[in-house]
Amino acid sequence: MFPSRFATTEAQRFRQQRAASKRLRCTWRMGRIRASLVLMAWIAAGLAGPDSAWAADPVSFRREVAPLLVGRCLGCHNDEKTEAALNLKTFALLRAGGVTLGAGILEPGDPEASHLIAVLKPDANPRMPLQQAPLSEPEIALLERWVREGATFDGGSETETLLTSLVDPLANLPKVSPRRPVHPPIKALAVAPGGQRRDRSRRWFFRPMVTNLLSRGVDRASLVRLWSGI
């Protein structure tokens, strides 16, 4: 009886281990299949280009389009100088267009029909910006993508917000490091009634300033009264 029962238990354990191993192999294969599908999807998104459903966030007028228009176009299309009656002071004035095509300057969803895009192409006649370096291919592609996505405005009021207010004038300036060490600013100054500075450890720092004031005719009593009130 005992050997028979032992053999039955071993057989059941073997079948359980075999079933578990089979489930593990199936799980591993499904994982490989899922990973392959994800990889194929990413490859397809890359081949489809930036305008596919897998592309990045939509183009922001505030962050990407406004700096381009202000830096390259606003100089000839403003309140004082409106070439072709086109004013880029606000987004509403941009949408109104100029004397050439009026509202046809922007056709949301169709960059090929938008006059704003057409005049930026290298073969345009006249080509904009006029008598200046043309926009680069990435810059034109950015504007085309913005128009294709609907030419939306995320800068607040279309009629009140100035395009210049959306651009940081210091954003593209080179960073300049100070040539000399920067001393901490003076936040407080304490002077004893007798005219002696209380913080003697920093006397070397204030000595040139006091000497300069005294040389300009400021008497010591006035200095004491002035600094006592600080």
For the chain, give the secondary structure using H, E and C.
CHHHHHHHHHHHHHHHHHHHHHHHHHHHHHHHHHHHHHHHHHHHHHHHCCCCCCCCCCCCHHHHHHHHHHHHCHHHECCCCEHHHCCCCEHHHHHHCCCCCHHHHCCCCCHHHCHHHHCCCCCCCCCCCCCCCCCCHHHHHHHHHHHHCCCCCCCCCCCCCEHHHHCCCCCCCCCCCCCCCCCCCCCCCCECCCCCECCHHHHHHHHHHHHHHHHCCCCHHHHHHHHHCC
Residue with tokens 């010591």: 220
Could you list the residue range(s) of the whole structural domain that residue 79 is in?
61-166
> Among 18-27, 44-53, 149-158, 220-229, which is the least confidently predicted range?
44-53
- Indicate if 158 and 102 belong to the same structural domain: yes
- Indicate if 155 and 72 belong to the same structural domain: yes
The number of folded domains in the chain is 3
Residue 20 counted as domain residue? yes
pLDDT of residue 64: 93
Cα–Cα dist 223/217, whole Å: 11
9-26: pLDDT as tens digits = 766 776 777 777 777 777
75-108: pLDDT as tens digits = 888 888 878 888 999 999 999 887 766 778 999 9
Residue 174 counted as domain residue? no
Cα–Cα dist 83/132, whole Å: 15
- Indicate if 157 and 209 belong to the same structural domain: no
Average pLDDT over residues 148-166: 92
* Residue finishing a domain among 166, 197, 212: 166
Residue 146 counted as domain residue? yes
Which one, of 64, 89, 65, 85, lies nearest residue 75 by Cα? 89
- Indicate if 70 and 144 belong to the same structural domain: yes
- Indicate if 85 and 20 belong to the same structural domain: no
Average pLDDT over residues 126-139: 91
pLDDT of residue 162: 93
> Among 61-65, 83-87, 136-140, 172-176, which is the least confidently predicted range?
172-176
pLDDT of 187 strictly over 70: no
pLDDT of residue 97: 85
Percent of the chain at pLDDT > 70 equals: 71
